[in-house]
A = this chain, B = another copy of it.
């Protein structure tokens, strides 16, 4: 009997839970005709015998990484302005750069190169900020979709506390543009969908937040924003919203929290905020490179894991300096070790298995059944060639550890997203 689909043969690694790593050497993973994983087998089962099998040899095959927070429009600024304060960085560098995306040609150029870099690396799933510009945002969606990536892109909402040249004129205009953008893009791309994106509380008037809550309800839209990144920012939110119990409660008031909501950073969640995130299922997106670079601090991920919060990782370019998620995993390990040493000994540092979990099965769950080689999961796969540093005696557990610390996007040699071969 003929079935469409295909199979990969090689060494598969995926997480079952935060500290549980499945390792299947020389196995065969089957992708069915719907782009879903049909399982991992020692040998190709009789039922699938007619499927083409791609031999991936000695490479390590992972489910790919989910990058749950980054600013696509800051791609050109990677590595710039890191010695500025956050406010100067926004005013001198980031807002002027974002303003350029009013020009569709500029957007196509920069987003095209960003999509190409993402396509070549570890990242399979994304949640990306564009800018306030509707047209530019649609171009980003088109290009990410064309590059074979899956996930969400957001048109930014921002109607206060930013220079006029980048701010939307008022809440009504911002909401109109957003609704039009949602209507134009909701079903237009195979693997990229819209996500509501209020920049953060200081950038959005209460009217805008309330309107976004209504849009969210009307169209059942997911949402992404920032939360508790820096003490100075939190103090500012307190000033702006004197009546609110906390920063997280400002979002909650308008129905902007939930299991389909990503909150970047969460370095300084209070116990009340933790409880609110837990209760609503809202996601913490840990962005360790950015939190180090722009001097935000270290998010206590061990605490959040123990509380059972939903957690994923984000590169957060260009607060983060690298679009390669391998760098984000390494920085997550590094800062968790420093947090343990610098005063929070109760928070055991993260292990290589745990950061791998956060990047794959953990963060992947934001997109549904994503991030595992198990029946019914989306067939995402990334093959990593560790030949340059593998030595004969290394078992797959050692090779996994070395990969976490040594691999970069350049070592990715084959890639699939939702059953589609990228290369």
Interface residues of A (CB under 8 A from B): 76, 78-83, 289, 292-298, 321-322, 330-331, 333-335, 337-338, 340-343, 349, 351-352, 389, 391, 398, 401-406, 408, 410
Given A321-B330, A338-B297, A341-B295 in contact, is the A408-B408 Cβ separation under 8 Å? yes
Nearest CB of B to A339, in Å:
8
Task: List 7 tightest A-B contacts by C-beta distance, closest first.
Answer: A79-B405, A79-B402, A321-B405, A292-B334, A295-B337, A83-B351, A297-B341
Residues of B within 8 A of A321 (CB): 330, 405-406
A389 touching B78 by the CB < 8 A rule?
yes
By beta carbon, the residue of chain B nearest A335 is B338
Report the Cα distance A338→B331, complex, angstroms.
12
A79 touching B406 by the CB < 8 A rule?
yes
Total copies of this chain within the assembly: 2
Residues of B within 8 A of A292 (CB): 334-335, 337-338
A80 touching B337 by the CB < 8 A rule?
no
A82 touching B352 by the CB < 8 A rule?
yes
A78 touching B406 by the CB < 8 A rule?
yes
Nearest CB of B to A207, in Å:
34
Nearest CB of B to A330, in Å:
7
Report the Cα distance A78→B407, complex, angstroms.
11
Residues of B within 8 A of A81 (CB): 401
B334 touching A405 by the CB < 8 A rule?
no
By beta carbon, the residue of chain B nearest A389 is B78
Given A292-B338, A338-B338, A342-B297 in contact, is the A78-B351 Cβ separation under 8 Å? no
Given A295-B349, A321-B330, A337-B295 in contact, is the A78-B342 Cβ separation under 8 Å? no
